Structure 1
Amino acid sequence: MADHEPLQEIEYEGLPGGSLASNLVAGAFAGIMEHVVMYPVDAIKTRMQIVNPTPAAMYSGITNAVAQISSTEGVRSLWRGIASVALGAGPAHAVYFGTYEAVKQKLGGNDGSEHHPFAVATAGACATIASDALMNPFDVIKQRMQVHGSTYESITECARTVYRNEGFRAFYISYPTTLAMTIPFTAIQFTVYESFSKVLNPVKRYDPFSHCVAGGMAGAVAAAMTTPLDVIKTLLQTRGTSTDMRIRNCDGLVNAAKIIYEREGMKGFARGLRPRIVTTMPSTAICWTSYEMAKYYLLRNN
């Protein structure tokens, strides 16, 4: 057994990106774990980012939001819309990690022991373009169900209502903004993750602790730097629930940014910063740990 274990570590780092199948399966597993575990905090983040909320939907912080929502709507409302994430996250993250590993390998990001930030950042950007095209409609449905006063009983009912009232465009009106946010988010996240991994795990063996720490730090840094765009995305994805006609008719990133700035100034772009970091830091730690674990066991068992 002692002679067998080093072989497993050599196999893990000796297959730099792994097979496409292993990356797809590992990515799907990681995506579902990431989104489901931290879903209630993500719901609070969505509510805190709403522009001009009703008095009943104003929250002063995460603890206040949990207490207020639990007492008025029931704690189960924090899980409303989770089926949309569970349904979309698996295939979206399979595409995400599959694309990332393929592009990184193509650009030479797996060659040698040196750091390749350009290859990593480019691979991350390509990965998010592909996965967001698949995930965006599910994200719209999720946020419509997360907002205060949502009456949707299922993701099917929500999707039908949005399509009937606003057309197919409603599912992708935030896609350019999503890309404007997730491309730098992913580039930052992957670069920080790879950088921390080089320091914490220079021999590139399977090490859950270093994967977890590097993933958490990468998520926190990327989340903090891209929160303003996330606030804009939330406005666009939830515009159909607003009673403010200017918000309902908002048609893009620039218009949404103007509304936020006029109503709340620069501080409006920091709405939900704390819950976003609180959500993203552990969720990316879970995502990377789950991904590396799944890939390791898939490669070990061939």
Structure 2
Amino acid sequence: MSEMHEHDYDYESLPDNSSLSVNLIAGALAGIGEHTVMYPADSIKTRMQILNPTPQAVYTGVGNAITRISTTEGVRTLWRGINSVILGAGPSHALYFGTYEFCKDIFGGNKPGGHHPIAAGIGLSTTATAGACATIASDALMNPFDVIKQRMQIHGSTHRTVMECARTVYLREGLIAFYISYPTTLTMTIPFQAVQFSSYEYFRKVINPRGDYDPKTHVIAGGLAGAIAAAATTPLDVAKTLLQTRGTSNDLRVRNCSGLFDAFRIIYENQGLKGFIRGIRPRVLSHMPSTAICWSVYEYFKWVITARDRAQLARAYD
């Protein structure tokens, strides 16, 4: 009888990797957990990135923003728009992780040595490419929900429900309003996800070479990956916020902003280079724990859902 036990093999190395349904379910649960827990920080980030905000919406820092919003508008304001995220995050993250795992397997990322970014660039190319494919698919689904979320987050928003906001934006600005930022979103999220996935896989392998399920590993690797990716892509996120909230601006040039490069020009002319890092602190503050949560929840449910497969594999060695 073999001496191999359940804890002696990598839960991620099941036959044919994990099934698509496992990745979809785990991804959906991870997405909802990620976005809901750190939503207030995201709300603050959006407000700090608005160009030429009203005096009531000018904040000196994250703490100041929390205090002023809570005392003048109510604590619930920090959560306004969260329903849009919940509605979109589940399906989009299911698609996101399902696509990632499928592409990573196709590109050879699950082969031995496939997750070592500094080893001849092999790990970086497979995981980064899989991450890019995943974000193209998920952002196409999530972009309208993100537009609605930011319209509800801004100071003075009169929108109270997701459907009311969606209807108003559509009637006033047309379908284009929901996708005007999609090219910019991809320009931002493809490098964001490429950096995040590659960093996560690298740190995970360094911290836990055996590949056993280890919550601490996923928290640390996820947090580091999220912080690095968030800081690196903040300038693109500022431009995306401008595009997604352009319909609420009193500045005609902002309202008529046509794309990424136009947004960059407007930001630079109004605030110079410092305008491109507006909201970097709440963005990193949001993404570091939320990415850690996302990966931890994803890996946990992936581990739980595949328990039967692990048990069957263990019996095969007995």
TM-score by length of 1: 0.97
1:51 has 2:81 as partner: no
The structure 2 residue matched to 1:197, chosen from 178, 199, 204, is 204
User: Where does residue 207 of structure 1 map in the other structure?
Assistant: 214
- Structure 1 runs of 4+ with >6 Å offset: none
CA contact (8 A) 1:101 1:123 kept: yes
Aligned residues: 299
* Pick aligned residue for 2:254 from 244, 247, 251: 247
Contact 1:9 1:206 in 2 (8 A): no
CA displacement at 1:238 relative to structure 2: 0.4
Q: Distance in 1 between matches of 2:209 and 2:113?
A: 8
Q: Pick from 256, 260, 263: which aligns with 2:263?
A: 256
User: Equivalents in 2 of 1:244, 1:50: separation in Å?
Assistant: 12
Q: Partner of 1:154 in structure 2?
A: 161
The corresponding residue for 2:95 is 95
The one-letter code of the counterpart of 1:7 is: E
Residue type of the partner of 1:252?
G
Q: Distance in 1 between the 2:306 and 2:183 partners? A: 36
What SS does the corresponding residue of 2:170 show, helix, strand or coil?
helix
Task: Report the secondary structure of 1:218's partner residue.
Answer: helix
| Structure 1 contact 11–300 (Cα < 8 Å) conserved | no
- Cross-structure match for 1:187: 194
Q: Could you tell me which of 226, 230, 248 is aligned with 2:233?
A: 226
- Is residue 37–residue 283 contact of structure 1 (8 Å, CA) maintained in 2? yes
Alignment match of 2:272 (pick from 265, 274, 282)? 265
| Kept in 1: contact 2:10–2:211 (CA 8 A) | no
Which 5+ residue runs of structure 1 have no aligned equivalent? none
Q: Retained in 1: the 8 A contact 2:184–2:260? A: yes
| Paired amino acid for 2:233 | T
> Shift in Å at residue 8 of structure 1?
5.2
Q: Measured at CA, do residues 17 and 241 of structure 1 come closer, stay the same or move farther in structure 2, by a change above 3 Å? A: farther
Identify the match of residue 152 of structure 2 among 121, 145, 166: 145
Find out whether 1:178 has 2:185 as its counterpart: yes
Is the CA contact 1:84–1:139 (under 8 Å) kept in the aligned structure 2? yes
Structure-2 separation of matches of 1:126 and 1:247:
31
Cα offset, 1:251, TM superposition? 1.0
Residue 127 (structure 1) aligned with residue 126 (structure 2): no
The residue that corresponds to 2:109 in the other structure is 109
Q: Which amino acid aligns with 2:34?
A: E
- Cα distance between partner residues in 2 of 1:35 and 1:111: 31
Match of 2:6 in 1: 7
SS at match of 1:60: coil
Which residue is 1:276 aligned to?
283
Larger Rg: 2
Structure 2 gap ranges (5+): 117-122, 310-318
TM-score normalised by L of structure 2: 0.92
Partners of 1:70 and 1:126 in 2: CA distance: 39
Residue 294 (structure 2) pairs with residue 295 (structure 1): no
CA RMSD of aligned residues (A): 1.2
Look up the match of 1:86: 86
Alpha-carbon displacement from aligned partner over 1:152-205 (angstroms, at most 9, x marks no partner)? 110000000000000000000000000000000000000000110111000101
Deviation at 1:266, TM superposition (A): 0.5
Query: Are the aligned partners of 1:174 and 1:237 in contact in 2 as well (CA < 8 Å)?
Result: yes
CA distance in 1, matches of 2:190, 2:8: 32
Distance 2:239 2:31 in 1: 23
Q: Which shows bigger deviation, 66-75 or 220-229?
A: 66-75
CA deviation after TM superposition for structure 1 residue 17, in Å? 3.7
What's the % identity of the aligned pairs? 65
* Shift in alpha-carbon separation, 1:9–1:137, aligned structure 2, 3 A: farther
